[in-house]
Chain A
Amino acid sequence: MNVSPLIEDMARKFATKRLLKSELNISDLRLKYLLKHNYLTEIPSIKTTFGFTTCERCFNRKPSQFGKIPRANHTPIIYCKHCIQMGRTSTFEPLYEWTGPPPSRHRAKNPLKWRGTLTPLQQRASDRLIKSIKQNQNLLIDAVCGAGKTEMLYHGIAHALESDKRICIATPRADVVKELAPRLRRDFPTIHQAALYGGTTEQDINSHLVIATTHQLLRYINSFDVVIIDEVDAFPYHHDNMLPKAVNRATKPTSSTIYLTATPRLKQKWLINTHQLPSVSIPARFHGHPLPVPTKQPIFRLTKQLEDDQLPPAITDWIHQKQTDNRRFLLFAPTIDLAEKLSTHLDIPYVHAASPDRLHLIHQFRARNLPSLITTTILERGVTFPSIDVAVIQADHHVFDEAALIQIAGRAGRSAQDPTGDVTFFYDETTLAINRATNYTIRKNLEAKGSHS
């Protein structure tokens, strides 16, 4: 088929996506031409059926999440407030889908340039992953924190690239995208790659591999053969039921979705145990050392003491111990207020989601320029600091659920040089989450022992 280079170029940019006019970024004249010759199709972005309004991009159906713009002598324009961060969808701003010739893509031969070795456990998961991709099946990889998930994916990604499949790695956080993209670019140097997150300048021009935040998938339709979702149990994916729908739409009808998690939620556990979702478990870290088991440290009337601006001696002792041993540590606080209070008390800097120098402080801590840091749950997952100790203040607070505590405990002992770390939970009343998180580490360590012998 002979397609003009201009059309081919646009096909690369627009195919398998649903975009707004502002995202197409083409002139009105060209848009008219493309619509007339059916290269593009207009899709209304706000649909009203039986009185229910739905946003066709983000699946939003809550009446409170739609806004109205009044017009003189006309019915008001309805727009979606839920996904307005990605550009406004409204009854006047339709989405455009490419219906012209599909774009071509060169096939990558031997794309993987990584020459590392996998542990037997990683190898097992990697083989299972390749099998799932071959058979277009879904798979859940249940790997503990620090199991080396990225390396484990390499052979699966390479296999998919060789069979001319389009892959997406979706993660809930932009920080992870920024960290992952250069690594993958180094290890797969010959393929086209796009790293997409809010505020990125990169474009996905029919790339082989797309690394994106989960929200970016809202722009895609029938696009990927393999979608790898990192941290399925993490906040946006677990909390927001629009994202599973978005993943479902972004994948082709025959495709495989790979879920990665350290802490499967009840829903995923149910699917695994009823054999609806095949799974593979990696109970040990890449360096083979067991996970650090949290120390439970109940303190009588901790909540009251913190309210009264008193720091119990158990906590100050722990901190002094670390300071005399010259160990670096992270202190997790449940709320920003408490983090601030502790920060002034202990003279340790603190970070939270909205703090302006967040990136700088995290960077300083990673570069070992800071001995300690107080944080809210934002550093709970996805970040690696070599050889640190961790303490959770008020571990019985409701923000610290089982998954959060397991992830926090997983921050300690990440490096092979210093595989042990101290994890301490300070709390008032024992909660189910605390017990479950402790039992989880014990269970995983036993499982790892069993699989070695």
Chain B
Amino acid sequence: MICYLCQNPTTPDTTWTTFLAPTTSPICESCEAQLPTITQPFCQRCMKPLDTPVLCQDCQTWTAHFKEDPLTRNISLYRYTPFTQDIINRFKYRGDYEIINAFQPAIQSAYQTHFQPKPRRTLKLKSHQRQPQSPTIIPIPLHPDRQQDRLFNQAEAIARQINQPINTTILTRHDNTKQSKKSRHERLASHNPFTLNESPPDHILLIDDLYTTGTTLRQAAAFLKQYGAKSVESFTLIRS
């Protein structure tokens, strides 16, 4: 096994546990230790690390701005540190696609705990008690020109790690300016860069790589809600 993050070979210790129940991890222990997982307390909606588990200032502003926040909640895996920044740089800008494999177990377990509906444990399934539906997974689209340069869409790459059907046709993008090149104010004031191609499903899970101000996700969420989506949640790899 070669660690996807540091490219060093990892050799698990030979113990009875690893012998009887071999587990493979795509990353080595030292890289795993450096990954800053988000722990409580954090903002109950956007997972921004806070001192007390309340609604953060940003989310309050968003609620005031939209009257009702289009984004039900956001789940992120890691904080934005020099280490994760470096990973994102390598992944997005250098184009090392396979780095994302390092996060597959983490992404899948996060999906299962937060977004996959729990099957109801009733003895008899009554006809009016329908099983809850799992959300439609929509990665935040990339402008075609950018996708041609990069050869992949980073949000789609993350979405593919979940191993569930994903939908890339509903939402497309027409604005080509980079979010990372804009200031906070510019981001908040920017117009909706998305185009809708079909009528959206009821429950939607948006996927992106970074949650910085939450503008992109909220623009997409508001847009989808405007055209009939009932609830929109989001999942990002990193919350800065």
Which A residues lie at the B interface, using CB under 8 A?
64, 67-70, 77, 79, 81, 84-85, 87-88, 90, 92-93
CB of B98 within 8 A of CB of A67, answer: yes
- At the interface, yes or no: B94 with Cβ under 8 Å from chain A? yes
- At the interface, yes or no: B115 with Cβ under 8 Å from chain A? no
CB of A79 within 8 A of CB of B2, answer: no
* Most chain B CB within a 10 A radius of its CB, from A67, A84, A90, A92: A67
Q: Which of A70, A88, A90, A93 contacts B160 (CB 8 A)?
A: A70
- At the interface, yes or no: B95 with Cβ under 8 Å from chain A? yes
Interface residue range, chain B: 10 to 19
- At the interface, yes or no: B97 with Cβ under 8 Å from chain A? yes
CB of A81 within 8 A of CB of B96, answer: yes
Q: B75-112: which residues lie under 8 A (CB-CB) from chain A?
A: 90, 94-98
A-B pairs with lowest CB-CB distance, top 9: A67-B98, A88-B95, A69-B97, A69-B152, A84-B96, A69-B151, A84-B94, A64-B2, A67-B97
- At the interface, yes or no: B7 with Cβ under 8 Å from chain A? yes
Q: How far is the CA of A84 from the CA of B94 in the complex (A)?
A: 7
- Output the least CB separation between B176 and chain A (Å): 15
Q: How far is the CA of A79 from the CA of B95 in the complex (A)?
A: 9
Q: How far is the CA of A88 from the CA of B2 in the complex (A)?
A: 20
CB of B151 within 8 A of CB of A67, answer: no
CB of A77 within 8 A of CB of B151, answer: yes
Closest to B99 in A: A67
- Output the least CB separation between A58 and chain B (Å): 14
CB of A79 within 8 A of CB of B94, answer: no
Q: How far is the CA of A92 from the CA of B148 in the complex (A)?
A: 10
Q: Knowing A77-B151, A90-B151 are in contact, say whether A68-B2 is a contact too (CB < 8 A).
A: no
Q: 20 A-B contacts, Cβ less than 8 Å apart?
A: A64-B2, A67-B97, A67-B98, A68-B98, A69-B151, A69-B152, A70-B152, A77-B151, A79-B95, A79-B96, A79-B97, A81-B7, A84-B90, A84-B94, A84-B95, A87-B94, A88-B94, A88-B95, A88-B96, A90-B151
* Most chain A CB within a 10 A radius of its CB, from B94, B97, B98, B152: B97
CB of B96 within 8 A of CB of A92, answer: no
- Output the least CB separation between B82 and chain A (Å): 9
Closest to A72 in B: B168
- Residues of B near A77 (CB, < 8 A) are 151
Closest to A62 in B: B2
Closest to A90 in B: B151
Closest to B152 in A: A69
- Residues of A near B90 (CB, < 8 A) are 84
- Residues of A near B2 (CB, < 8 A) are 64
Q: How far is the CA of A79 from the CA of B2 in the complex (A)?
A: 17
Q: How far is the CA of A67 from the CA of B7 in the complex (A)?
A: 12
